[in-house]
Amino acid sequence: MNAMNEKISAIGVVPVIKLNHPERDAAGLAKALCDGDVPVAEVTFRAAGADKAIRIMKECCPDMLVGAGTVTNTAQIDAVIAAGGDFIVSPGFDPELVTYAQEKEIPIYPGCTTASEYHQALKFGLEVIKFFPAEQSGGLAKIKALSAPFPMFKVMPTGGISLKNLKEYLSCPVIAACGGSYMVTADQIDNNKWDEITELCKKSREIVKEVRG
């Protein structure tokens, strides 16, 4: 795997974040994640100002990996790059977005849940793909089934992941890392419950270390 993929895989979990007030909350959240030994974040464009949040988080914690999620157009990719973002995540497989990200030399993880989408990802030379929404799309059983004809991929499942099933997912050798919002809920962010976020991150990392050593 390339350097970015290896770094994300080593952390094992990727918090998926919706920030409604980036100027107020981004710095505190970045510190809470890093304090919990999870120095990575996927800031989704489901809320306005995702690029602003990415910039603030990178300024606060320069060594943190901060990317953008729910990216659906090339203008958003440009905004992420301008903000100093590290990677792109899209909910589905869009050849135009993948091509554009590769031209801009920023890693992209498109959502793939079918054999046809896996096949497209193969043509683009991708190593790691997102599997979204994971539980609703067949979960670990489907991921394992698709890995038979496509053993070259590592997968980042997102959707329905929690502390209850994190160990099960991470125990599968094709899983690079698991995305989730369970450690960064709207209540925790909006009410600045940074200690809770840090604690959930620590528990997640304990599971990663238990499984992977």
Query: Which residue blocks in the chain are alpha helix, DSSP H?
Result: 3-11, 22-35, 50-60, 74-82, 95-103, 115-123, 139-147, 166-170, 186-190, 194-212
Catalytic-residue membership of 42: yes
Q: What is the radius of gyration, based on Cα positions, of the chain?
A: 16
Catalytic-residue membership of 123: no
CA distance 110 to 77: 13
Identify the active-site residue in 18, 42, 58, 135.
42
Identify the active-site residue in 31, 58, 117, 130.
130
Please state whether 159 falls in left (phi above 0), alpha (psi between -120 and 50) or beta.
Answer: left
CA distance 177 to 159: 13
Question: Is residue 151 packed enough to be buried (19+ CB in 10 Å), middle (13-18) or exposed (0-12)?
Answer: exposed
Helix, strand or coil, per DSSP, at residue 83: coil
Instruction: State the residue for tokens 């120095």.
Output: 39
Catalytic site positions = 42, 130
